[in-house]
């Protein structure tokens, strides 16, 4: 099982490292530079508003289905048509909810128009994720790896044509960006649907009230968890746009988006661990296999990577923001520098939030596989209350920076609670020597940043690479990342599951 995890993690990371950084740091970033901070902030707040209610498209079905299919492969052909029908019904329900609430909070005109398209894209994405949950549940990780990047690969092609080819005389707008996403999702949905039908047989939609109610009842604990987590992960930009007056709300949402883009990139990679780990954890728990080693391997990889990113952001955040974002036409130098200064503070805070998010993707996934959903829901609710309280207090005075502090506080609390709960339920044993080496690695990462920034005469880009490399080297020397352990697993011929 460990061998399967590492081999497929390597494939998944390789494909995503090829595609997603270029999408987030190249294409998506350039869209914001082209349309402007206010215009992108307008889109970003609406996108996150639509994401708050994403769970009504799913009701926890995707997570439930992933776990269920991993433990009972034969249920795919039995459940597929019924769940697909239910997903279409939920799509209609979701559309009604977002428009009603949008109107209630004051959306009108162009906001509602864009919300309609963004909401449709969320429906397509939800259906793709459901289809992928079947593929992942069958442990078809190679196929799932391909699908995980297909939509972004298509978006890169479509948006690049609109941005850089000069084939269109009109100025690029944020609506074009949304339309390109729609086309990419439609194509990816068709490819994923074809892959699942090959395993399940012919898809014939049907209405089965008893089946719908049964699936919803089993999925609701997952649904509540995802709903609460969506709110405390995505509500920041919505609150910025609603709580701050006039154009200031759009501007601050755009400033927040500048830094959040890199958190989103990191979360995409952390999410890949959860995609692989949920079916593996579920199967190992069902078969009563020892799970501690896999948890430690996954935690070591993801936390080392996220800490290196956070430390690098701490020392080079301003330079990274200046590299990524340009001065808009008509924008004064003072305003541009102020925007960059805000973004670099937000960037540093969000990257330390990323460490906590990464931990949650390990321990939260483990607790989900073990069906500890009541406890997870209580933790998520505590995180939401913390986030909302901090946001309402901090946004009026500190704007987007205050929202970043709110995010860090909520994510830190939930990470500590989920980690403690996982150790309690599974009696996990990270040895004392591993814990000492872990904290030594953290100290050396910070030490590398201090030494390089104080004494190196090279440019900041070279210093960033050196800091990252020194931190990575320290992790290997302290055996936080253990090459021999990885090699021994990959050479092993014993696999619990044949892929």
Least confident of 52-61, 71-80, 274-283, 470-479: 71-80
Q: Exposed, middle or buried by CB within 10 Å (0-12, 13-18, 19+), for 139? A: buried
What local confidence, expressed as pLDDT, does residue 184 receive? 92
**Residue 277 · residue 256 · CB < 8 Å:** no
Q: Assess contact for 85 and 207: CB atoms under 8 A.
A: yes
Tell me the per-residue pLDDT of 17-61, one tens digit each, with 9 for 90 and over: 666 677 776 787 788 888 887 888 888 888 888 887 877 787 767
Cβ pair 346, 256 in contact under 8 A? yes
Instruction: Write out the E strands in 113-231.
Output: none
pLDDT digits (tens, 9 = 90+) for 161-174: 888 776 766 788 88
Domains of the chain, by residue range, sit at: 2-491
The predicted structure's pLDDT at residue 129: 83
Q: What is the pLDDT of residue 63?
A: 62
**Which candidate, 163, 160, 157, 153, places its Cα nearest to that of 20?**
153
Indicate whether 75 pLDDT > 70: no
Tokens linked to 158:
């479509």
190 burial level (CB within 10 Å; 0-12, 13-18, 19+): exposed
Average pLDDT over residues 268-285: 74
* Average of per-residue pLDDT across 400-418: 91
Share of the chain above pLDDT 90, in %: 15
Which pTM does this prediction carry? 0.70
pLDDT higher than threshold 70 for residue 215: no
Look up residue 54 and give its DSSP letter: G
9, 202 in Cβ contact below 8 A?
no
Q: Does residue 95 register a pLDDT over 70?
A: yes
> Do residues 5 and 276 touch, judged by C-beta distance below 8 A?
yes
CA 291 to chain centre: 24
**Six token digits for residue 33:** 């530079």
Q: Extract the tokens encoding 26.
A: 């190249």
Residues sharing a CB contact under 8 Å with residue 413, sequence separation 6 or more, in sequence order: 382, 383, 386
pLDDT on residue 369: 83
pLDDT (tens digit, 9 = 90+) per residue, 173-208?
A: 888 889 999 999 999 998 888 887 877 666 566 666
Of 131-145, 424-438, 449-463, which one has max mean pLDDT? 449-463
Mean pLDDT, rounded, of the chain: 80
How confident is the model over 253-268, as pLDDT tens digits?
A: 888 888 888 887 777 7
* Residue 64 vs residues 125, 238, 269, 279, 362: alpha-carbon distances, Å: 17, 29, 22, 10, 17
């Amino acid at each position: 099982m460990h061998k399967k995890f590492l081999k497929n993690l390597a494939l998944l990371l390789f494909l995503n490292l090829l595609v997603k950084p270029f999408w987030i740091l190249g294409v998506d970033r350039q869209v914001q530079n082209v349309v402007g901070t206010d215009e992108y902030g307008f889109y970003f707040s609406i996108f996150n508003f639509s994401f708050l209610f994403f769970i009504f498209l799913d009701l926890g079905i995707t997570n439930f289905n992933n776990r269920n299919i991993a433990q009972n492969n034969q249920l795919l052909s039995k459940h597929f048509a019924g769940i697909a029908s239910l997903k279409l019904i939920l799509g209609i329900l979701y559309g009604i909810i977002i428009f009603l609430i949008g109107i209630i909070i004051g959306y009108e005109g162009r906001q509602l128009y864009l919300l309609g398209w963004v909401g449709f894209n969320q429906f397509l994405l939800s259906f793709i994720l459901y289809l992928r949950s079947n593929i992942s549940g069958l442990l078809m990780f190679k196929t799932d790896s391909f699908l995980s990047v297909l939509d972004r690969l298509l978006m890169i092609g479509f948006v690049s044509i609109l941005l850089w080819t000069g084939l269109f005389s009109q100025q690029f707008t944020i609506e074009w960006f949304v339309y390109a996403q729609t086309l990419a999702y439609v194509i990816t949905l068709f490819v994923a649907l074809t892959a699942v039908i090959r395993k399940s047989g012919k898809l014939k939609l049907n209405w089965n009230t008893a089946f719908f109610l049964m699936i919803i009842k089993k999925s609701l604990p997952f649904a509540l968890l995802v709903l609460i987590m969506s709110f405390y992960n995505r509500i920041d930009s919505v609150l910025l746009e609603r709580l701050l007056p006039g154009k200031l709300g759009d501007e601050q949402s755009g400033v927040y988006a500048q830094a959040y883009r890199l958190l989103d990139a990191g979360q995409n990679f952390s999410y890949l661990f959860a995609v692989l780990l949920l079916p593996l954890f579920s199967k190992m728990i069902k078969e009563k296999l020892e799970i501690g080693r896999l948890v430690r391997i996954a935690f070591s990889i993801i936390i080392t990577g996220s800490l290196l990113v956070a430390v690098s952001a701490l020392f080079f955040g301003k330079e990274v923001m200046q590299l990524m974002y340009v001065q808009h036409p008509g924008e004064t130098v003072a305003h541009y520098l102020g925007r960059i200064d805000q973004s670099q503070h937000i960037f540093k805070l969000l990257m330390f939030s990323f460490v906590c998010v990464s931990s949650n993707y390990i321990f939260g996934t483990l607790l989900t596989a073990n069906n500890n959903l009541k406890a997870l829901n209580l933790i998520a609710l505590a995180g939401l209350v913390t986030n909302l309280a901090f946001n309402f207090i901090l946004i009026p005075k500190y704007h987007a920076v205050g929202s970043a502090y709110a995010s860090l506080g909520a994510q830190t609390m939930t990470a500590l609670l989920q980690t403690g709960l996982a150790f309690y339920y599974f009696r996990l044993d990270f040895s004392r020597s591993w814990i000492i080496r872990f904290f030594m690695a953290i100290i050396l990462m910070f030490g590398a940043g201090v030494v390089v920034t104080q004494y190196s005469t090279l440019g900041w880009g070279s210093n960033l690479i050196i800091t990252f490399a020194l931190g990575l080297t320290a992790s290997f020397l302290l055996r936080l990342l253990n090459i021999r352990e990885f090699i021994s697993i990959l050479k092993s011929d014993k696999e619990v599951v044949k892929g």
